Structure formats: structure tokens, C-alpha cells
Amino acid sequence: MIDEPTVFISHSSTCSDPGCGCAATRDAAVRLVEQADCRSILDVHELRIGEDWHQRLLEELSESRACIALLSPHALVSDHVFEELLLAKILSNLTGSTFRVLPVLVGGATRTQLKDSRLAKLRLDMKHMPQWTAPKPAPLDLIEVLEGLHTTPPGFPAPVVHDTVAYHLRPLDAEILRRAATLLSLAGPQWPPALPRTVAFGLLQERLLESSPDPLRLALKQLLRRVSMDGRSEVIDRVVPYARVPAEAGEQMRAVAARPSRRLAVLKTSDDRIPDFYLRRASTGDEPWVALRPSGAKPVVGEVRELLHQMLSNGIPPADDAELDRLIRRHEEEEGPIVVLLWQAPDQDLVTRLSAAFPRLSVIFVTEDGDAVPDAVSLRALTETQERALVRLHEELRGKFVRPGPR
């Protein structure tokens, strides 16, 4: 699921000066982005009437990793450029500057003109604002930032999860979203097209402590009654684990699942509902990680094998271990790692047998005292109070907002 980073190019093409150089610079910017193995997005329909396409363009901007702002003299007075850069600035604030705003002065535009324009309000970084008009070579800073996008993590740590939650919030009134943003203490400009993503970001932040009054609970209650019936369950099941299970535990589980073998972890809890929330917290894709839960009535290795056959090939035993391994890999690539949950103290001998038979499965021992075996990662645990707050919030929201039915 590693996509090339997307870079949005904000520019204005309403140009009447043939000597301006803005069109050549725009084309050079597109080439520069592509040379850095990134995908470029730019507005080629600036003169088209209607707001739908611009709204879609802004959505694309909010899914990008950086925005190059080509500030020609006419871009300084363009409404579209202003809106795009306002959103870019919001994204930069939300992500702690991981989303990069890259302004360059084009076609004779000066710092003084910029200071006198309404873009000055956005406080673009003046120190790092080179002049660049094609065919002059592109500024080195710009090239370095573009290449760096491949190695820095995205600003939204789980972009798919953010997108999913933002998607369900998009139909809501700006006023409702603005109230939720205030409850969640999201500072900064609250511009309508950016609100769904801003609020999704606030909802998905770690908030392990339930305070009184609790901003997360209040915001969710206000939002959920307006989210479509189909979306409610997804919002609850994504937001509650992201807010109430430590982000660190999610990182630990992903690190364990990336090991070549001995993918072992221990989770300390006495509540059998808690591991499911951890599996949801670990997932950065569309689905929670799946768990196999051997009953303990049979030898574990044999039972895990039967459960794998059921899950991966409709109960039909694969021809051999190589085929089973292929099916496990395919599941892992498409839906995420498979986890064996064992409610028992870690057992060195069992670990050795399970790892030998299924090196690609993650094994999590769930115990009340948290004892570990060598190589096992102790997942960051919740206190009993935090566990109760997590389960209570989830049950309360599901009870209130989700139509009863099979989960």
C-alpha cells in the first residue's frame, strides 16, 4: 500500500503578460515533481464555472503530502490560490508541519507584493521563499523537500483511517463540525472545506483519560446523530480504539508483525474485550487485523492449522505447507497480519512449536500478570480505569447510535 507521495501545485493561469513565465514554471514544476517520483496534481480548469470541481480539488489537496505555491503577481490576487493555500496552511498546522507548504515567487512577484496581498495573512515562511521562473533551474531546497517525501512518514499517521472518518463527516453542516472542533480544542482557522479532515484528526488523537466532561464523548455524541446509519458503526469502531488504546501499542504490534519470525507479544489485561480494540488500533488499513482464537480443547498447533484452513480456504486443506504459506502471505498483503490470541501465560515451548509451524503469524499472549518470554514485546497496557472507560464509551455509543443487529 505504499503509494507515491502526491504533491499539489497551486497556481493561477489567468495571465495576460506573455513575459510572465508562469506557464513555463508550472510545467517545469510538474516535471520536477515527477522526476522526484511523486504524483502531481494541478488545477487545469481554473476558468470553469461551478464549485464542485474546486471542492474536489481541495479534497485532493487534503490527501497530498506537500503543496508547491507558484506565486506569480496574478496568483497573489487569485481567490482559488488563496483558498488552496489556506487549506495547505491548515494541513501544515494539523500535522506539525509534516505537510509541507513550498512557496516560490514567480514571474517578477516580490516579497513586498506578497506582504501587501491577502496571502500575507497566511504567514507563509518568508525565509524559505526562493525566486523561481523557468527556464531557470529549480531551487535546490525544493528538490530536497520533494525527495525527502519518500522517507518521511505521512503527516496523518494512518491516512486511510483519517480518510474513512473524514468521509463520513463530509455531509455534516459546517456549524456542527465547527462545534466539534471547538470541543476537541482544535486551534487554527476553521474553514468549511477543511473541517471534516480537521475534526477527523481531532477524533483520532490519543485520549486515554476520560475527563469530566469528556470532550471526545461529547463531540462523538453530537456528530454521530448526524452521520448516516451506515457510517456510524465505522466511525465508532475506528475512533474509539484510536483514541483510547495507546498509539505506542499500535506501533509495537506493527513492529512485531514486520519481524521475519518470532512475532511475539504479551498483552496484560483481564478483560476479554480488550484485545479486539488493540487489533483495531494496530490496523492502518480498511479492516481490523483478524485473530484466530484457539479454544484450547485440542493441541494448539493443530487447532491453529484448522482455523487457518477455515479462514483462508473455506475449510479445504491446502495441498501443502507452501500453499498455506502463500495464502497467509496473500491475506497479509491484502488485509493485514493474522494474529493468534492465546489467553494463557506465555509458554516458551509452545512459542517454539508455533513459530516453527507458522513463522508469519503474530502470537499475542493475553495474561492478567503480563509475564513475558524472551523476544516477546510487552504491549503498552491500559490501567483498569482506562479499560473501563474504553469499553464503556464503545458500548454506550453503539447502544445509542447503531441499529441492533449482527456485528
Interface region with Zn ion, contact rule CB under 5 A, candidates 9-17, 297-305, 310-318, 328-336: 9-17
CA-to-CA separations, 317 to 22, 292, 308, 314, 323, in angstroms, rounded = 63, 16, 9, 8, 10
Out of 7, 22, 354, 363, name the contact with Zn ion by CB under 5 A.
22
Q: Which is nearer to Zn ion, 108 or 154 (CB)?
A: 108
- Measure the CA–CA gap between 240 and 280, rounded to whole angstroms: 9
Residue 13 interacting with Zn ion (CB under 5 A): no
Out of 4, 15, 182, 370, name the contact with Zn ion by CB under 5 A.
15
Taking the alpha carbons at both ends of the chain, their separation in whole angstroms is 27
Interface region with Zn ion, contact rule CB under 5 A, candidates 14-22, 210-218, 240-248, 318-326: 14-22
Residue 24 interacting with Zn ion (CB under 5 A): no
Q: Which is nearer to Zn ion, 70 or 129 (CB)?
A: 70
Burial of 336 (0-12, 13-18, 19+ CB in 10 A): buried
Torsion of CA 78, 79, 84, 88, to 10 degrees: 90
- Measure the CA–CA gap between 226 and 232, rounded to whole angstroms: 9
Minimum Å gap between C-beta 23 and Zn ion is: 7
- Measure the CA–CA gap between 338 and 328, rounded to whole angstroms: 8
CA-to-CA separations, 190 to 10, 81, 198, in angstroms, rounded = 20, 17, 8
Interface region with Zn ion, contact rule CB under 5 A, candidates 21-29, 332-340, 379-387, 390-398: 21-29
Minimum Å gap between C-beta 17 and Zn ion is: 6
Minimum Å gap between C-beta 226 and Zn ion is: 44
Q: Which is nearer to Zn ion, 5 or 21 (CB)?
A: 21
Q: Which is nearer to Zn ion, 22 or 181 (CB)?
A: 22
- Local structure of residue 348 (DSSP, 8 states): H
Strand ordering across the sheet containing 66-71: 39-42, 6-10, 66-71, 100-105
The 62-101 site mask, x for binding Zn ion (CB under 5 A), equals ----------x-----------------------------
Interface region with Zn ion, contact rule CB under 5 A, candidates 22-30, 32-40, 86-94, 234-242: 22-30
Minimum Å gap between C-beta 251 and Zn ion is: 46
Q: Which is nearer to Zn ion, 15 or 301 (CB)?
A: 15
Full DSSP string of 3-64: PPPEEEEE-------TTS-HHHHHHHHHHHHHHTT-EEEE-S-TT---SHHHHHHHHHHHT-
Minimum Å gap between C-beta 78 and Zn ion is: 11
298 Cβ contact partners less than 8 Å away, ≥ 6 residues apart: none
Residue 20 interacting with Zn ion (CB under 5 A): yes
Q: Which residues make up the interface to Zn ion (CB under 5 A)? A: 15, 20, 22, 72
